[in-house]
Amino acid sequence: MTKAAELAHLFRALKAPAAARAVPVLAERAREEEWSHERFLEAVLSTEVASRESHGGESRIKAARFPARKTLEEFDFTFQRSVKKPVVEHLGQLDFLHGKENVVLLGPPGTGKTHLAIAIGIRACLAGRRVAFATATEWVARLGEAKRSGDLEAELRRLSFVPLIVVDEVGYIPFDPEAANLMFSLVSARYERASLIVTSNKPFSAWGEIFGDEVVAAAMIDRLVHHAEILGLKGDLSPQGQGPGLATTAGLTALPPAPPRPPGSAPRAGPPPLPARSARGSVLNRQKGVRFQPALTSESQNI
């Protein structure tokens, strides 16, 4: 058996076809540049690892069932000026996955919400993370089927092992009470356990109407935005940049200024400390330097 045939046999045994294909070229280069044995071995193994990671990423992208293939590099920031490129690039680094945080993209149709959701999801796939993509209606149908077969808890448990779930198009179709409860179950089951990306064409203030229950909607928003990066995409893309600001688009309400103190009164005490559930602000809040609060109802504390 020749040396070439022996090497081919060994690479087949190791199931390393990319390394086998790379050896002739790398060996020639190693001789020309007088590589050490260690450097040559590193080059061969790196080629195989890169190939496996690439194929694994493609498999995860296919399994995620994205409706299209989008990338962050393709996103047109000159068209959609309400989104800052550094914020999107930060999301593309996937730090939110490590913290089991969420990403919420709110804005009118055609503003790039689904593009960003897909692109971030593909980044996660290429980084070795499993992703599952579906519209809100499709998720409700899937969970409803599991509930009818008595497997809802098992299905939610299985989904909790998927690092990133994308829920697209919340608000395009109103939910009946059962659907609202199923969506709440999904959000609640993943709270502080795994990440969600949610897109919606409706501000948070309209979610009570979408889900047919203000209390359920408030509780869902509470869990969704506690650890979240919230981006509001404007629908008005005119050069003057007029239209609702990020906070208005996102359905968030700025805290009103305190009333003036009467003359001679004691200094007003500072604001109470934020509860633990509000310890992390969103990209939106940090950028604007203003405290915002979702329009939640007091009943949400009981859910």
Domain ranges within the chain, ordered by starting residue: 3-63, 72-255+274-302
What's this model's pTM, rounded to 2 decimal places?
Answer: 0.67
Summarize pLDDT for 6-65 with one digit per residue, the tens: 888 899 999 899 899 999 999 999 999 999 999 899 999 988 888 877 788 999 999 999
Contact of 283 with 251, CB cutoff 8 Å: no
What is the identity of the amino acid at 181? N
Summarize pLDDT for 236-279 with one digit per residue, the tens: 543 333 333 333 334 443 333 434 444 554 443 433 333 333 33
Of 33-37, 144-148, 255-259, 291-295, highest mean pLDDT: 144-148
Contact of 121 with 166, CB cutoff 8 Å: yes
Q: Helix (H, G, I), strand (E, B), or coil: what is residue 106?
A: strand
E-strand spans in the chain?
102-106, 131-135, 164-170, 195-200, 228-232, 252-254, 292-294
Alpha carbons 107 and 249: distance in angstroms, whole number? 6
Closest Cα partner for 110 from 249, 205, 252, 237?
Answer: 237
Encoding tokens for residue 167?
């829920």
Regarding the domain delimited by 72-255+274-302, which CATH topology (the fold level of the hierarchy) does it fall under?
Rossmann fold (3.40.50)
Summarize pLDDT for 181-223 with one digit per residue, the tens: 999 999 999 999 999 999 999 999 999 999 999 999 999 999 9
According to DSSP H, which parts of 15-36 are helical?
17-33
Higher pLDDT, 17 or 1: 17
Residue 236: the pLDDT is 54
